[in-house]
Structure formats: structure tokens, C-alpha cells
Structure 1
Amino acid sequence: MPRKYILSNIARPRATWSDEQLMEAVAKVQTGEISKRKAHRRYNVPPRTLKRRITSGNFKKGALGPEGILDRANETRLVAHIHRLSVVGFAPDKSTVRTLAFRFAEKLGIKHPFSAATEKAGFAWLHSFLDRNPELSVRQAEFLSLSRAQGMNREDARRFFELLDEVLTKNGLMKKPSCIFHG
């Protein structure tokens, strides 16, 4: 299962302050109006956070924790690629997504902990990836029976659409789609 840090019951919620509170607290501390401790009490921004933000000059609240193996932009590109595969009829299964992630990281030269032996990302990464991207639905593909595969070939499909065109033209339904019913 994915390595996911779960806060214990005694842990307090983290980063409950807003960007505005941080900016006000930093301005007051930098002008010397109040100390970091007083800013912490008044604006609910931890003193160490104030010190770090003043030193770095970064006053925007970002995501908690480290960035993922693939950053957000690259993950978005991978999700778009998976969607394109699905649209053209090649919906990838879990194993394929893991392989795609490995190849994607290799191609971009991103340092990763994925297995070079199997050339796949791990199961933990896959589960976290799917949690971060709930619009994806990776399922096991269903098999197509031999008779269905043989029954639908290019020649049969061409004959079907020629016959459909002939029937619609003969009955004057080509410009009247509202008169066509599925039986």
C-alpha cells in the first residue's frame, strides 16, 4: 500500500494560516512592531515558519510535504497522455500505467526510485497517483470473444454502412435524424 502519513489524534492540524495572515505577520516582524512569538499568537503562524519565510523571501503558501517524483506539471502531462490513449481505444491497465510512468521519468531524465529491472513504477506510486488524479479510472481490460472479433471486420463494416446509407436515402431520412429510432 502507499506510504501515506496519517496524523495521530494528538497532532494539531498543519498550516491553518492564510497567505494574508503570513504577509501581515511578516510585515509586522520586519518593521519591528512585534516579535515572532507575538506574531505567532496573533496571526497563528508558527515562529519557525515566520523565520524561514523571512529568510527565504517566499511568502506564498505551498503544498505540504515534498514534491512528488514527477512534479505536478509532468503528472498532468502523463494524465493527458493516458486520456488520449483511452479515447483512441487503448485504455491502459495498471501495469501499463506503471510502465508509462517509468519510461516518462527516464525520458525526462528525472531521478526516480522506480525499478530498473522491471522498468515499472511501484504499486505505492500507482495508488498515490490514482488518488491524486481521481478522474482516471484504470481497469482490467475485458477480453473480446473470437467470434465477435472475426464478425466485425473492415469488409462487413463497409457493407453495413453502405446498406444503412441506402436505406436512409431511400426513405428520405438523411436530413431528418429526429425520425430515426433505435429499435
Structure 2
Amino acid sequence: MVRKYERLSGRQSWSEEDMAKAVAAVVCGKMGYKLAARTYHIPRSTLQRRASKVRYQQHEEPKPLMGNYRRVFTDTQEKDLVGYIKSMEKYFMGVTKRDIRELAYQYAEDHNLNHPFDSNTRMAGEDWVRNFLKRNPELLYKTETHGELEPVNFDQFYHFMCQLA
């Protein structure tokens, strides 16, 4: 996976605010697809797809990424993972990247999500955890006042957290 990617194309150069305004105009019946696409400078096909999702109330899906990569978790699911990790740190002192990878795999399996994680090792990839920590920098700050970290029985914690939810 590319470690530091700089985008070269001009695709998806429109803003989410313009797309939301255009979808609202189309759904309310104030404008047609063509006029709304021209007015807000967005692709008509994307506008049609987004408007149909709003009209037919499809469930929340992860925002697609450009290229071959796709998101595994929605924003709310990622917030749940962050909450689990913070409570792990609170109750069991230390969390390693390996623990986060295992937690992500178990979370995806428990929620029947389509994921590219390795089923042999039952963990998410190293690139996934690196990008997850970039998206959630509050998990990177660790206090070292506890000294040596104790090993964590991850399965016991995960089932403990499922019982609390």
C-alpha cells in the first residue's frame, strides 16, 4: 500500500456542501438533475446516485475512496472502535498495535462486514492500523507513568465490552 499518496487527478474536485445543496434541490423538485449539476458544478451521474440514495433512504455506507481501496468501517463504527480502545487503555493499562489489529478483525467479523483482513492471522493489516491511528491521533498519546505494561487477554476484554454495550 502506498505510504504517502499525493493525488494527481482532478476527480471529485467538488465540495460536499455543493453536493448536499444539489441533492436537496433535486429531491425537493426545485431543479432537475441537469440544471442542478450545472449550477453547482458537480457530475450529473454522481448527483443521480446520491439523490436516489436520499429518496430511497439507503443505510449509511462508508464514504468511498478514490482508486482500488475501500473503507471497511463507517465513521460511527470507527468511533465505536476508538471507544473500545480507550476503555481498554483505561481498564487494562496498555494497548499495542497488534491488539488494535485483532480488535478491528473481530469487530468486522461480529458485524458481518466485508473486509480485506487476513483470516489466517485473524488481524487487520499493518497499513490499516497505521492509517487508523493517523485518523485518530488521540490514541497515539500514551502516558508512561505506569511503567512496564501488563499483557492483556484480548478475548476476555472484548467479551467484557460486548456485555457492557
TM range (shorter): 0.5 to 0.7
How far 1:47 moved relative to its partner? 2.1
Change (3 A) 1:12 1:121: closer
From 76, 87, 91, the equivalent of 1:84 is 87
Partner of 1:41: 38
* Mapping of residues 159-174 of structure 1, within 5 Å: none
Q: Deviations over 1:3-57 (max 9, x none)?
A: 776421x515523224224433563444xxxx71x44332223222333345x15
Which residue type is aligned with residue 73 of structure 1? T
Q: Does the CA-based 8 Å contact 1:99-1:120 persist in structure 2?
A: yes
Letter in 2 for 1:135: E
Deviation of 1:126 after TM superposition, in Å, equals: 0.6
- Once the two structures are superposed, the pairs formed by residues 19-98 of structure 1 within 5 Å of their partners are 19-24=20-25, 27-30=29-32, 36=34, 38-54=35-51, 56=52, 58=54, 64-65=63-64, 68-98=71-101
Which of 105, 109, 112 is 1:109 aligned to? 112
Could you tell me the TM-score, scaled by structure 1's length?
Answer: 0.57
Q: Which moved more, 1:90-99 or 1:44-53?
A: 44-53
Q: 1:92 Cα deviation (Å)? A: 0.5
The AA in structure 2 aligned to 1:11 is: G
Contact 1:98 1:121 in 2 (8 A): yes
The structure-2 alpha-carbon separation of the partners of 1:130 and 1:100, relative to structure 1 and needing over 3 Å to count, comes to same
Give the Cα–Cα distance (whole angstroms) in 1 for the partners of residues 110 and 125 of structure 2: 18
Shift of 1:127: 1.6
> What is the rounded CA distance, in whole Å, between the counterparts of 2:77 and 2:43 in structure 1?
32
Distance verdict in 2 for CA 1:29–1:64, change over 3 Å:
same
- Cα–Cα, structure 1 residues 3 and 113, in superposed 2: closer, same or farther, change >3 Å? farther
Q: Secondary structure of the equivalent of 1:96?
A: helix
What is the CA RMSD across the aligned residues, in angstroms?
3.4
Q: Which runs of 5+ in 2 are unaligned?
A: 149-165
